[in-house]
Amino acid sequence: MYQASRRSISAAVRAPALIRGSAVPVTSSPYCAFEKIIDNNDGGNTAPPSFSSPRFLSTLTLGSAGSIKPGILTSALPFGSRFMILPGSVRGEATVAEVETTEGPVEKYEYQAEVSRLLDLIVHSLYSHKEVFLRELISNASDALDKLRFLSVTEPSLLGNGGELEIRVKADKENGTITLLDSGIGMTKEELVDCLGTIAQSGTAKFMKALKDSKEAGSDNLIGQFGVGFYSAFLVSDKIVVSTKSPKSDKQYVWEGQADTSSYVIREETIPDKLIPRGTSITLHLKTEDKLEYADSEKLMSLVKNYSQFVSFPIYIWKEKTQAIEVEVDDEAKEGEAIAPEGQKKKKTKTITEKYSDWELANETEPIWMRNTKSVSTEEYNEFYKKTFNEYMDPLACTHFNTEGEVEFRGILYIPAIAPMGREDIANPKTKNIRLYVKRVFISDDFDGELFPRYLGFVKGVVDSNDLPLNVSREILQESRIVRVMRKRLLKKTFEMISGIALSEDKEDYKKFWDNFGKNLKIGVIEDNSNHKKLAPLLRFFSSYSEDELISLDQYVDSMKEGQKDIYYIASDSITSARDAPFLEKLLEKEYEVLYLVDPIDEVTIQNLKSYKDKSFVDITKEDLDLGDRDEAKEKQVKKEFLSFCDWMKDHLGDKVAKVDISNRLSSSPCVLVSGRFGWSANMERLMKAQTMGDTSSMEFMRSRRILEINPEHAIIKNLNAACKDAPKSQDALKAIDLLYDTALISSGFTPENPAELGGKIYSMMDIALAGKWAGSTTEGFNDNASESSSAVGVEETEVIESVQKQETPSEVNEASEAEIIESAEVQAESTSSKK
């Protein structure tokens, strides 16, 4: 095989024959058929190097051919093979050959690309559903009608006697074909070669560019700008026949192409029955596997109603219908009766069903979003909502809008009355609630957050844009400034609609909304930081002043007490546990309102919100709580007095607590266990433990450093402080510290690590406290049983009681009369002395 050198390649590119792109007739030479090229690539007869025949270039020498345009290598083999340059293809011109047939002269054209591979790419990559082929063809037909209507303003003669501007679709089950006919502008022979012979060539795009260049208006209603829309027909067909007649030409031409070939033919239509006055007829010869599904008028009707229902031109479907007709029947004489004369016979009729076919209008519905808002009633909005989204209840709210400016689009958005079953809108980011139309042609309802974020997936509606950028399949939105602007405006309209419900006089409406979609807004706070200011006023919570009715953050801020700087909250599993938590004692005394976060997602939501109207959110279960009334001198004195006591408790508890400190949030409880500032709260720790797929390895790392805060005014703390000074190694006092810690662990919302051990401690203390308490009012036998039960406490508990009795002094007894441990010892001592 002849291999060209670098110098010969440069000479070939500069050669006049190639630069002119002259056409070469298709011959039987093995070098002019692509199949032969593959067969002869390994050797065989070779042609001498000349510019009138194909040239084979080694892939190793292509690097120096910098002047070769991308389109020069029109037929490419895999890397390591050789490439062929077809003469006349440097500038991408078609090669032509005339072939004589029985129907007249036919011209054969070669595609200007490797069409077999490109069509395969279109079929398997560009489109996600086969059924979109009809949408694409109808969109192209609508373009042709629009173009004719526009041009006829200045050239009325173009309309001629071609009839009304319309689209007709007919299926033929017997032959397995679908024919689509439009009365649009049609195409000349040159336009056929230009538009259908070049992949991705768009006549609409050229037309719009010409309008833009001439600064003329009226192109906004053109649908398609990509030339691959026509080739989507190969999704369901293996052969396409296009017959077209342009008012600018006296002849009608037929284009024929197949999916598995690299060429197409164009011929003049000579059969009188197939001549049309104006427009284009496209006949699809369906594939065997698609004949049964798509060669059906009902299927075509459903596709038109789904994708092209709102096209501005009428679309007719050829359908088989039935009608009831009455026919006459002879009244036969019964047996034994005389036959009546011919003129005296009684005529009877019966009803039969007759089948017939006729055209039926498929798109009689006018787009409701294109109408003026003042002309649409509430009933019409509700009816459109129910019909479009298969709902049975009226929507909770609706907004109809038309945005203008740099991006223009219309739309209607709805908020459903109830949430979907299973709450799939929260878990699944892809919802089918927003139907996107481009120039009233349905594009898709399957998006992944391009138009709406996940947390607003419950919003339903339609959006229609005239200039939305789409890819070649019109189904996947491209990342662009226009899409971002659309998303921003749709979010704004949605928030306005939700705010309108919140501010309405009927408070029940927003209560219904919150019950159904409140979690969505909380997720929005977590995921969408840019819209916190719009989301925060819509949140609702229970509080210490409103346990039965949800309040907004605005209501909380408006009712804040003088001197209150922060918004306080506590996260718990229920209103009851939040209300009874020891953390609220001092705040309730100061009449500070506390938000109850009882929904598992509430705490994460507030942590992401951080502040509202310059008021910070403060978790009252965390350390360093500042209530704005600190007396530093008094705090310093109290800390000095209880310094050794705090160290004593910390040494005994060890790693269970980070430190023991004086509390400023307690008034009636002896102590409370608070979380570290940056660790998990008790509620968050409980939730993370309950996660099925939780990471246990990070549990210990994120576990909050717990701090035991004591109330120095409580009797138990005072007695233990005395024990710290007089008997720091007393087993009774140390056991009291353990029980105090375990009790604070539970009351603060934490889960004890060993519930059984805690239960044993409580039972022991109950036995000590109750032993002999009712001995005087019961029988001796009962006292004996009680004594036996008391002795069952064990030697250890008896020693604890005796040691406590020995340690007490008269002054200490008066001082610690309210402490539970001391009181229990006194009760048993009195019971023992009475028995003696």
| pLDDT at position 168 over 80 | yes
| pLDDT at position 204 over 80 | no
| Top-confidence range, 7-11, 56-60, 120-124, 163-167 | 163-167
Q: Which of 395-433 are b and which e, b meaning 16 or more Cβ less than 10 Å from the residue's Cβ?
A: bbbbbbbebeeebebbbbbbbbbebeeeeebbeeeebeb
Place of tokens 């069409």: 115
Burial of 367 (0-12, 13-18, 19+ CB in 10 A): middle
Place of tokens 């373009």: 143
What pLDDT is attached to residue 645?
Answer: 93
CB 311 within 8 A of CB 440: yes
| pLDDT at position 137 over 50 | yes
Helix H or strand E segment including 283: strand 279-286
What pLDDT is attached to residue 378?
Answer: 93
| pLDDT at position 836 over 80 | no
What pLDDT is attached to residue 447?
Answer: 73
Which two three-digit tokens encode residue 607?
């942590």
| pLDDT at position 619 over 90 | yes
What is the tens place of the pLDDT at every residue in 594-608? 999 999 999 999 999
What pLDDT is attached to residue 60?
Answer: 32
- At position 156, the amino acid (one-letter code) is P
**Overall average pLDDT of the 342-365 stretch:** 78
Which two three-digit tokens encode residue 293?
């599904």
Which one has a higher pLDDT value, 578 or 342?
578
- At position 114, the amino acid (one-letter code) is E
What pLDDT is attached to residue 304?
Answer: 93
| pLDDT at position 13 over 80 | no
DSSP letter, residue 556: H
Which two three-digit tokens encode residue 591?
């009449």
| Minimum mean pLDDT range among 108-122, 576-590, 694-708, 735-749 | 108-122
CB-CB neighbours of 778 under 10 Å: 12
| pLDDT at position 416 over 90 | yes
Give the percent of the chain with pLDDT over 70: 68
What pLDDT is attached to residue 123?
Answer: 58
Give the percent of the chain with pLDDT over 90: 33
| pLDDT at position 117 over 80 | no
What pLDDT is attached to residue 495?
Answer: 95
**Overall average pLDDT of the 651-678 stretch:** 90
- At position 602, the amino acid (one-letter code) is D
Dihedral sign (CA 69, 70, 73, 74) = negative
What is the tens place of the pLDDT at every residue in 717-766? 999 999 998 888 888 889 899 999 999 999 988 888 888 888 888 888 88
Which one has a higher pLDDT value, 582 or 789?
582
What is the tens place of the pLDDT at every residue in 560-616? 998 889 999 999 999 999 999 999 999 999 999 999 999 999 999 999 999 999 999
What pLDDT is attached to residue 347?
Answer: 67
Strand partners for 268: 253
| pLDDT at position 779 over 70 | no
What pLDDT is attached to residue 809?
Answer: 41
Provide CB contacts within 8 A for 766, sequence distance 6+. none
Which residue stretches of 748-779 are H helix?
Answer: 755-770
Helix or strand or coil: residue 667?
Answer: coil
What is the tens place of the pLDDT at every residue in 346-356? 667 778 888 88
DSSP letter, residue 622: B
**Overall average pLDDT of the 323-344 stretch:** 65
**Spatial distance between the Cα atoms of 647 and 660, rounded to a whole number of angstroms:** 7
Which two three-digit tokens encode residue 594?
């506390």
| pLDDT at position 225 over 70 | no
Which two three-digit tokens encode residue 802?
């005796």
What pLDDT is attached to residue 757?
Answer: 85
CB 114 within 8 A of CB 72: no
| pLDDT at position 647 over 70 | yes
Please state, rounded to an integer, the average pLDDT across all residues of the chain.
75
pLDDT range class, residue 224, cuts 50, 70, 90 = very low
Provide CB contacts within 8 A for 578, sequence distance 6+. 570, 571, 572, 584, 594, 596, 597, 598
In Å, how far are 20, 63, 70, 261 from 113, measured between CA atoms?
19, 22, 11, 12
Backbone Cα Rg of the chain:
44
pLDDT range class, residue 517, cuts 50, 70, 90 = very high
What pLDDT is attached to residue 196?
Answer: 80
Provide CB contacts within 8 A for 2, sequence distance 6+. 46, 47, 48, 49, 55, 56
| pLDDT at position 51 over 50 | no
Helix or strand or coil: residue 772?
Answer: coil
What pLDDT is attached to residue 506?
Answer: 86
* pTM of this structure: 0.67
**Spatial distance between the Cα atoms of 202 and 226, rounded to a whole number of angstroms:** 5
What pLDDT is attached to residue 481?
Answer: 76
DSSP secondary structure letters along 86-139: PTTTTTTPPPEEEEEETTEEEEEEE-SS-HHHHHHHIIIII-S-TTHHHHHHHH
pLDDT range class, residue 697, cuts 50, 70, 90 = low
What is the tens place of the pLDDT at every residue in 255-265? 998 877 778 89
In Å, how far are 2, 38, 51, 82, 616 from 44, measured between CA atoms?
11, 12, 20, 14, 85
| pLDDT at position 460 over 50 | yes
Which two three-digit tokens encode residue 250?
């006296």
Phi and psi at residue 539, in whole multiples of 5°?
Answer: -75, 150
**Spatial distance between the Cα atoms of 200 and 118, rounded to a whole number of angstroms:** 10
Helix or strand or coil: residue 581?
Answer: coil
DSSP secondary structure letters along 460-524: EEEEEESS--B-TTSSSBPP-HHHHHHHHHHHHHHHHHHHHHHTSS-HHHHHHHHHHHHHHHHHH
Which one has a higher pLDDT value, 584 or 428?
584
What pLDDT is attached to residue 497?
Answer: 95
| pLDDT at position 39 over 70 | no
In Å, how far are 200, 209, 281 from 186, measured between CA atoms?
18, 19, 9
Residues in the chain: 836
- At position 339, the amino acid (one-letter code) is I
Which one has a higher pLDDT value, 295 or 792?
295
| pLDDT at position 32 over 80 | no
What pLDDT is attached to residue 624?
Answer: 86
**Overall average pLDDT of the 171-184 stretch:** 93
What pLDDT is attached to residue 343?
Answer: 59
| pLDDT at position 440 over 90 | no
| pLDDT at position 786 over 60 | no
Residue 34 sits at the vertex; the CA angle it makes with 32 and 36, to the nearest 5 degrees, is: 80
pLDDT range class, residue 254, cuts 50, 70, 90 = very high
Question: Do the bridges between strand 460-465 and strand 177-182 make them parallel or antiparallel, or are there none, so unpaired?
Answer: unpaired
What is the tens place of the pLDDT at every residue in 369-406? 999 999 999 999 999 999 889 898 999 999 999 988 77
**Overall average pLDDT of the 701-714 stretch:** 82
Provide CB contacts within 8 A for 688, sequence distance 6+. 680, 694, 699, 702
